[in-house]
Amino acid sequence: MNISIIGSGRVGSSVALNCCMRELGDVLLLDIVEGLPQGESMDINHQLAELGNDCHVKGSNDYQDMKKSDFVVIVAGIGRKPGMTRMDLLKTNAGIVKDVCNKVRTYSPESIVIVVTNPLDPLTYLALKIINSDKGKVMGMGGMLDLSRFKEYISSTTRMSRSSIQAMVIGEHGENMLPLVRFSSISGIPLSSFINNVQSSEFVTKTRNVAAEVISLKGATVYAPGNAVSAMIDAISRNRRKILPVSAFLEGEYGYSNVCLGVPCVLGSNGIEKIIELDLNQEEKEMLTNGVESVKTAIRELPI
């Protein structure tokens, strides 16, 4: 399996390391900054060598090296600064992602593409339109990252093992994300049996806001995004048919079309093999609609 990661900063390098630790295949780190991907690849390979892990990471500044990749992960772009929303990044990152996707279309058009760059949902839409790939082969990471945060709040509040938690987050990867308390459980027991209404509301608020808190404390979110992407690649490359929340192109699902949004999807060897439609209540539908409207507003500003 060949995995190309475009953008070799802290997040891109975390994706590379996580993919290798899961032994998913060889990794190419690509970046326009000379020396950066080469240095990161050397550092990761040193760790892998001591562990006896035979995955190999290569650093490059040449997009031709990504030919025949099985997966392309797009991390290129500027990150959020304290006080910024994800949508504040739209204009700058849309131009970067458009240029990257033109290169993907040239050198590796058959690859499965995972978008990490923010604002994630509109840029996933941009990638799909520019690469002109099958809709199941282009997706965004957002829901998987939000899910990791939601699970942590559930575990820390209930003091139950993280391994016992099943949860789901849908909607926009942004201020309108929707952690679904109703569809979450601990070893199959509804989460509502362990928490009260106040805690339920706190879970939702904290999951939406925690990224900004991490950014204010350390400058970027790094490790959880790396794990989220590698979990998606693992599910697809090993045909696990796992249901994971990812940003997918909707064609009538949940009542919406021509937009990318975080929804539960079956991930298998063909990428997104099925979108699961949940029976949402009125409050959940309204929050989902807010996210759709936010993403569609951003899509109208994309350079397509």
Per-residue pLDDT of 68-91, as tens digits, reads 999 999 999 987 777 767 678 898
> Whole-model pTM above 0.75?
yes
Distance CA 214, CA 80 (A): 11
Q: Say yes or no to pLDDT of 43 above 80.
A: yes
Q: Are 108 and 69 in contact (CB under 8 A)?
A: yes
CATH number, residue 279? 3.90.110.10
Q: Which of these, 207, 126, 196, lies nearest to 170 by C-alpha position?
A: 207
* 127 pLDDT tier (thresholds 50, 70, 90): very high
Instruction: Determine the Cα–Cα distance for residues 248 and 238; give it in Å rounded to an integer.
Output: 20
Token readout for 75 is 């991390």
As to burial, measured by CB atoms within 10 angstroms (0-12 exposed, 13-18 middle, 19+ buried), residue 210 is middle
Domain contains 304: no
- Domain termination residue (choose one: 116, 141, 166): 141
Number of domains in the chain: 2
Query: Where in 180-283 does DSSP place strands (E)?
Result: 185-186, 189-190, 242-251, 257-268, 271-275
- Residue 303 confidence (pLDDT): 86
Residue 79: per-residue pLDDT: 77
Residue that is written with structure tokens 């060889």 in the block: 26
- Using the 3D structure, point to which of 141, 158, 178 is the last residue of a domain: 141
If asked whether residues 243 and 121 sit together in one domain, one would say no
Calpha distance 116→71 (Å, rounded) = 13
> How far is residue 31 CA from its own chain's centroid?
19
To the query of whether residue 173 is one of the catalytic residues in this protein, the response is yes
Q: What is the pLDDT of residue 78?
A: 83
The active-site residue, picked from 86, 137, 151, 173, is 173
Domain range spanning residue 172? 143-299
